[in-house]
Every structure is written in C-alpha cells, then in structure tokens.
Structure 1
C-alpha cells in the first residue's frame, strides 16, 4: 500500500510538472515570441512569478520520490526506470536553476518602460532551454509511468 501511494504521488507531481512545462512550450513561448520588447518584458515578468514555489516543490518530490522508488522497487526493471525518472526530474531542476530562473528574475525586476540601453533580448536562449527542460520533464514522467507499469505487470 505504501509503495502504491508513493507511486501515485510521484506520478502526480511528475505529471503536473510536465504539464506546466508543456503548456509553457505550447502557449507561453509562442505568445512571448510575438510581443514587442516592452510587452514581452512585462509578460515574462508576470509569468515568471506564478509558479514558485509550486513547481520546485513538485520537481523535488518527483526526484526524491523516484529515488526512493528506485531503491525499494521489488523489480529491477522498475527500479532502473524510476532511477532514470529521477535523473530527468533532477535535470529539469538544474536547467531551471542555472538557465531559466536567472532570466525570470531579471525580467520580473525590470521596468518595461525603462529598459537599459544595453538590454539583450533573452527570448531565444530562454526558449531553447525551456524546450530542453520540458523534454526532460516529459521523459521523467514517461519513465516513472513505465516503472509503475512494470510493477503493475509483475504483481
């Protein structure tokens, strides 16, 4: 029963994380790319503050939960899949911390009406890294789901 609750929790947090990331790629990024610079800075700053601390909590629960599942899974194939899911979730966190969050903080702190003369538009780089972390998040979800399927198939 405890194993089942942990699997359900990790699938939920992983699914929510992947869903938010996919939603950003499908809706947020195309919108941000079409806006004039001042409106982009305003919109990015608005979006950037909406997911903390929710997304980091989901990603930590996913990564830690997948590690625990990898250790306690009674089937080796499931353990390997859960371990790989943990790596995917950890990759999302690392990319977020090193590549996306600094841009998010910078955009949230800027006055769109008074951009510095040396302002460099970060959209291309931010979107590229957001796409990479989305792929990692979706992979984490699929790997965790595959691990759960192995457990169900062998019980």
Structure 2
C-alpha cells in the first residue's frame, strides 16, 4: 500500500469518526432544550482537533501527489537515458568493429613491409644495410689514417 493510499485511507477513517461523533452528539442532546448534556465543549474541542488533522492530511495528500509527479518525471528521464545508452552501445559496437578491422589491415600492411629473409621491416633492413656500408667506409678511412 503506497503512502498516498494510506493517507487517503486515514482520511476516510477520520470522516467516519466525524460521523460517529455527530451520532454521539445527537444521542446526548437534551430533547427539551436541544443542547448537549455536559460534553458540548469537549466535543467541540475534539471536532476542532479532527478538523486540524483533516487539514494536515489534505496537505500531506498534496505533497504526496507532488512526489508522485516528480517520480513520474524521473521515470521518464530514466527511460530517455536508457534509450540514449542503447544508441550509444550501438555506436560503441560499430566503432569496436571498425577498430578491429583497422587492426587487421594494419597487421597486413606491416606484414607486407617485412623482408621475407630477415623478417625485419624493409625500411629498417635498408637503413641497417646503409649503416653497415657507412661503418665499413669509416673503418677503411680510419685504417688509411693510421701511421
């Protein structure tokens, strides 16, 4: 049972209690004068208290209606966020597929640039051969310069 329905149930109970008080008041009325016997002031005080409680319950009911409206708006926002996350998941899946395809293509390109004999990248192998040739020339020059 929700808080709003509990408050409404209590309010209905207070209305029934008000009717019971009215019935008791009628039974305690002096038929000759039409006035209550000894308890008029007490019933008035109790009646005022019930009115105050009834007003308080009305305010609570209004607050709970406001809370229900806010919860409905929050639910709508959450549903919107769920839809947005679903769209985002789709985009992430597509990007993941593209990155996987990119990785496969990159591996194929890298493999095509390798020297079949050494397994090194062609540019690296060419650079190493060039460095070895220059090293040989430098060593030859150094040999010639020795006394």
TM-score (norm 2): 0.40
Q: Scaled by the length of structure 1, what TM-score is found?
A: 0.38
